[in-house]
């Protein structure tokens, strides 16, 4: 069921996804809010997405992807403080989801805090063998030693 929603969103069939979400999850408020948040993210309506993700949390959805997507939406509206809080919670809930680390490092780079960005990427690249992470780590390190 959830795969269908994700596929609709990825195919940019947002209206169809919203109708499906309404039909399938209207009585399950936490999932309804989460998936509606994803739809609003896809539409680049990040303030609306944030409202839905926050509601999903209030209804008890405690999942790393809620916090990751909420953090990402906060990045999009340049609220780095709230983005960090949510990305750190995402990492706390799932230490293996490296996109949370990447977004956190991105915030530090935007704030010109390359040491923190490097520390974040270094910590995750030690845990997860991902060539992209190693490349990012190398690039940040090069900037640090300039």
Indicate yes or no: pTM above 0.85. yes
Sorted by where each starts, the structural domains of the chain and their CATH numbers stand as 1-61 (1.25.40), 87-146 (no CATH)
Query: Which tokens hold the place of 59?
Result: 């209804």
Residues with Cβ within 8 Å of 55's Cβ and at least 6 positions away in sequence, in order, are: 29, 33
Q: What is the pLDDT of residues 2-50, one digit of tens each?
A: 899 999 999 999 999 999 999 999 899 999 999 999 999 999 999 999 9
User: What gap in Å lies between CA 41 and CA 33, rounded to an integer?
Assistant: 12
> Is pLDDT of 139 > 90?
no
Whether the CB-CB separation of 21 and 35 falls below 8 Å is answered with: yes
Q: What are the structure tokens assigned to 51, written together?
A: 């409202």
């Amino acid at each position: 069921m959830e795969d269908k929603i994700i596929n609709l969103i990825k195919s940019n069939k947002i209206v169809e996804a919203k109708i499906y979400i309404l039909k399938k999850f209207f009585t399950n408020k936490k999932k309804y809010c989460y998936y509606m948040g994803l739809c609003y993210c896809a539409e680049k309506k990040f303030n609306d997405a944030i409202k839905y993700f926050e509601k999903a949390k209030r209804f008890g959805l405690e999942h790393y992807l809620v916090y990751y997507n909420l953090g990402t939406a906060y990045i999009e509206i340049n609220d780095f403080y709230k983005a960090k809080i949510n990305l750190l919670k995402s990492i706390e809930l799932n230490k293996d989801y490296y996109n949370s680390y990447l977004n956190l490092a991105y915030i530090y780079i935007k704030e010109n805090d390359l040491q923190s960005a490097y520390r974040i990427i270094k910590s995750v690249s030690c845990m997860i063998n991902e060539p992209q992470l190693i490349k990012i780590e190398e690039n940040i390190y090069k900037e640090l030693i300039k």
